[in-house]
Amino acid sequence: MARRRGALRLDSMNEHPTKGTAMSTILIGIDGSERSDDARALGRILGSADHAEALDVQVTDDLPWEKLHQLAQERAAELIVVGASHRSVAGRLILHSTTEAVLHGSPCEVAVAPHGYAAEAAPPRRIGVGYDGTVSARHALARAAELAHWFGATLEVIVVVDLTHTMPARAGYPGIIFDLRSEADRLLAEARAALDLLPAVAGVELRREEGDPGRLLCDASDTLDLLVVGSRDHGPLRRLLLGSVSTHVVREARSAVLVTPRPAEVETPAATATDAAPAPAVDVDPGTAAFLAAGGARA
């Protein structure tokens, strides 16, 4: 399947979709570079879990990457996949500003394939998820559990005691650090209990780290095949809004990264006026719905 939209070309990667099966849509951003192969490889793998129709989206100078947001809304896409660009001499991942624009404000999930992913692409065996108890983190945990269930992968839940932004913690006050550690342990217990409501996974590992969340999640990606993170809690719409942690992760993680948008809430008239098309709804099973509804949002 192919059609033209000015400078945009759509090519289906599924030549023979199953008849009578409702298929979701994945958009794969390609630009003729090596990262296009990385994006296609990750798109095929994630698409197999969602029974999705993967569409190549050829982007040119006349059609900037930001237009993927509009196309994602038009086709009610559930995922946009892009490939990261090369690493610098210092080893840091260089994301083109246009690629980062795809991540900011996306109406659906965005996955980023690391450089060279296509050469060793395989279904994930270890999936990690950053968890801090927020609404976005709860959705990230549910999504990570869903993928781990589908692929038969081990799920690693990572809670970080953030010692970088709390002055008393940086100063080493024992009482503050003890409270932060206790809260992290409570979050791990919460995640463990929540997984009983979510699709069963092959194995669960709970991990508490202390330090800078972005750096520690990137360090954890060394032993992961896929790292799932939620975007920051901000605003009434279901949009992917990168915070300092998620931005750091998509720039420097060594594994593939999946960023989930915050959940939809009731739109205010002002918010509706600034967004012409609503974000696609997400269907969840009863157990997942119960987990996401329990407890409410955290500050």
pLDDT tens-place string over residues 201-248? 999 999 999 988 989 999 999 999 999 999 875 544 455 666 678 878
pLDDT for the residue 246: 81
Q: How does the average pLDDT of the chain come out, rounded?
A: 76
- 8 A C-beta contact, residue 135 and residue 263: yes
In CATH, the number for domain 1-122 is 3.40.50.620
Q: Is 70 exceeded by the pLDDT of residue 20? A: no
What is the structure's pLDDT at 235? 46
What per-residue confidence (pLDDT) applies to 126?
A: 98
Q: Which tens digits make up the pLDDT trace of 117-128?
A: 999 999 999 999
Q: Where do you find CATH 3.40.50.620 in the chain?
A: 1-122, 127-228+243-299
Q: Does position 282 have pLDDT exceeding 60, yes or no?
A: no
Tokens of 264: 């939809």
Q: Six-digit token pair at 125?
A: 């065996």
DSSP-derived letter for residue 264 is P
Max CA-CA distance within the chain? 63
Predicted confidence at residue 58, as pLDDT, reads 80
**DSSP for 64-122, written as a single string:** -TTHHHHHHHHTT-SEEEEE---B-TTS-B---HHHHHHHTTBSSEEEEEPTTGGGG--
Confidence of residue 12 (pLDDT cuts 50, 70, 90): very low
Parallel/antiparallel/unpaired status of strands 24-30 and 226-230: unpaired
Strands 109-113 and 256-260 turn out to be antiparallel
The answer, yes or no, to whether residue 142 has pLDDT greater than 70, is yes
Q: Which of 15-19, 25-29, 154-158, 202-206 has the lowest mean pLDDT?
A: 15-19
Tens of pLDDT, residue by residue over 69-117, are 888 989 999 999 988 865 544 444 445 555 666 777 788 999 999 999 9
**Rounded (to 5) percent helix, strand, coil in the chain:** 40, 25, 40
More confident residue, 90 or 271: 90
pLDDT digits (tens, 9 = 90+) for 158-205: 999 887 765 555 555 667 888 889 999 999 999 999 999 998 999 999
- Residue among 28, 185, 212, 169 nearest 110 (CA): 28
Per-residue pLDDT, 42: 96
Question: Regarding predicted confidence, which is higher, 146 or 63?
Answer: 146
Give me the amino acid identity at 203: G
Rounded to an integer, what distance in angstroms lies between the CA atom of residue 121 and that of residue 63?
A: 29
Confidence at residue 16, expressed as pLDDT on a 0 to 100 scale? 34
What was the pLDDT predicted at 176? Answer: 80
| pLDDT at residue number 236 | 43
User: Is 127-228+243-299 assigned to CATH 3.40.50.620?
Assistant: yes
